Amino acid sequence: MNLIIFDHAETAQPLPRADPRARHLLEVLRRGVGDTFDAGLVNGPHGKGTLVAVGTDALTLTFAWNPEPPPPPDPITLIVGLPRPQTARDILRDATTLGVAEIHFVATEKSERNYAASTLWSSDEWRRHVLTGAAQAFDTRIPKVTWHQTLAGVLAGLPEHGARFALDNYEGGVALGKCHLLRDTVVRLAIGPERGWGAEDRDLLRSRGFTLAHLGLRPLRTESAVVAGLAVVKTVRGQM
């Protein structure tokens, strides 16, 4: 946890000792009364927190925030065929760490629709994984996340501008790293569910201007393809 992130309302009240952030302050960072630590507001500024008191049930903290707002998120939209919940947890964390503006988990031809009913989504657990990814990256910005739309619905709502690529081991005709359009201001990257894209998905993606691309000959797990795909995009854009 390189940055301890708070919602604005949390900064005005004690932090319960049972909160993972409190345990991290005391047991990992080994902060004592009067010590400072790196803090951030969700989608807001960085700053310094100070541990004012350690009580039996809670920590008392104060904050001093930098005046500069955070820079805008990287203009990358990630579209992923809805995977099993554990895979989605990894993607939420790692894609946020790498830096994207939006993550849309979508129902596709071969995805399991019941994954959308997981407590990962219904309990807002997903947000915890996004915040973990942001804290790792020392960033306060978190992406917009959806999980209740179809592939067709998300594609229909995309603005017209920007580069569009979909990873596909079977029909991808070009290596993603050789796609010069990745340097465009806005990039949309689509990655299929764990069983891959179906024929109807491919037709839909092509009709919406997506180029089918690949990451090489070796099939990757969905969560690995997300990390590898984003790393390629950012490398071509000069961000890594």
Range 76-236 classified under CATH 2.60.120.10: no
113 pLDDT more than 90: no
The set of residues, in sequence order, having a beta carbon less than 8 Å from that of 71 and lying 6+ positions away, is 141
96 pLDDT more than 80: yes
Q: What mean pLDDT is predicted for residues 60-88?
A: 94
Q: Give the tokens for residue 217.
A: 């000959």
Spatial CA neighbour of 215 closest among 163, 170, 166, 176: 176
Residue 20, by phi and psi: left (phi above 0), alpha (psi -120 to 50) or beta?
alpha
User: Domain 4-65 is classified in which CATH homologous superfamily?
Assistant: Hypothetical PUA domain-like; domain 1 (2.40.240.20)
Band of pLDDT at residue 19, cut at 50, 70 and 90: very high
Question: What does the pLDDT read at residue 234?
Answer: 92
Do domains 4-65 and 76-236 share one topology? The answer is no
Domain borders along the chain are 4-65, 76-236
Question: What does the pLDDT read at residue 162?
Answer: 87
User: Which pLDDT tens digit goes with each residue over 158-188?
Assistant: 998 889 999 998 999 899 988 877 777 899 9
Question: What does the pLDDT read at residue 43?
Answer: 95
Question: What does the pLDDT read at residue 1?
Answer: 81
Q: What mean pLDDT is predicted for residues 130-156?
A: 96
Strands 163-167 and 211-214 come out as parallel
Question: What does the pLDDT read at residue 68?
Answer: 87
Q: What mean pLDDT is predicted for residues 15-24?
A: 96
User: Which pLDDT tens digit goes with each residue over 225-240?
Assistant: 999 999 999 998 887 7
User: Which pLDDT tens digit goes with each residue over 32-55?
Assistant: 999 999 999 999 999 999 999 999
**pTM, 2 dp:** 0.94
User: Which pLDDT tens digit goes with each residue over 188-208?
Assistant: 999 999 999 999 999 999 999
Band of pLDDT at residue 87, cut at 50, 70 and 90: very high
* Cα atoms in the Cβ-side hemisphere of radius 13 Å centred on 114: 0
Question: What does the pLDDT read at residue 73?
Answer: 87
